[in-house]
Structure 1
């Protein structure tokens, strides 16, 4: 048996014994890196970043001044809150959708946040 075969079998055993959420996170992380994005866990406040991941949740947060649309993006390593100020809805921004976002990383209440990020909707995987 070659080293290559051992790699295949160890990956197979890991897939058979790992939690589905862990495998999904690993898959998202690999797609993110392959798509030329940074891992969210490596991004620091003040940096210009590009992150690719899946939207876990999307919600409208009305305030006295203006509504904001908030979404949680997960790239397999960490979550990032996306906030679009003054928006009630953005076509295509929905839970389960994979998107690539770009903007300056900020921090709010200990959470990573991108305000009004530029975004690209990714093609759904069939």
Structure 2
């Protein structure tokens, strides 16, 4: 009976929870399975990390005549801004795409940033 009650409570929770909360939980679980650092656990500037998540937004930001491509990666716990200097476009870097990125964390305007990260695009399900 205990096994069925646990299944039913999980099923009811998944049916009544907000979709964005369930998506965040799935992203966090996938990141943990792949052995990546959770974005919320990144605290030190200069810390080498690998994060995995979904791109929420991608934009071109011309700063002081140098083009940069910025993308916000969300792993279910927090966001990390990925910045590619001198790039206007990178094939495959688009909102909704899942990727794994590695680099050193910096803090800019209170946000976690990785400049020129190494990245690996993940296959679409």
Instruction: Give the TM-score normalised by the residue count of structure 2.
Output: 0.94
CA distance in 2, matches of 1:41, 1:5: 34
How many residues in Structure 1 have an aligned counterpart in Structure 2?
124
Instruction: Give the TM-score normalised by the residue count of structure 1.
Output: 0.94
Q: Note the 1:40-119 alignment, pairs <5 A.
A: 40-44=39-43, 45-119=45-119
CA distance in 2, matches of 1:54, 1:111: 17
1:62 match: secondary structure: strand
Unmatched segments (≥5 aa) in structure 1 = none
Q: Which residue of 1 aligns with 2:36?
A: 37
CA distance in 2, matches of 1:104, 1:64: 23
Question: What are the Cα deviations for residues 52-102 of structure 1, in whole angstroms up to 9, with x where unaligned?
Answer: 000001000012331000000000000111100111111110000000000
CA distance in 2, matches of 1:47, 1:8: 40
Q: How far did residue 6 of structure 1 move?
A: 3.0
Unmatched segments (≥5 aa) in structure 2 = none
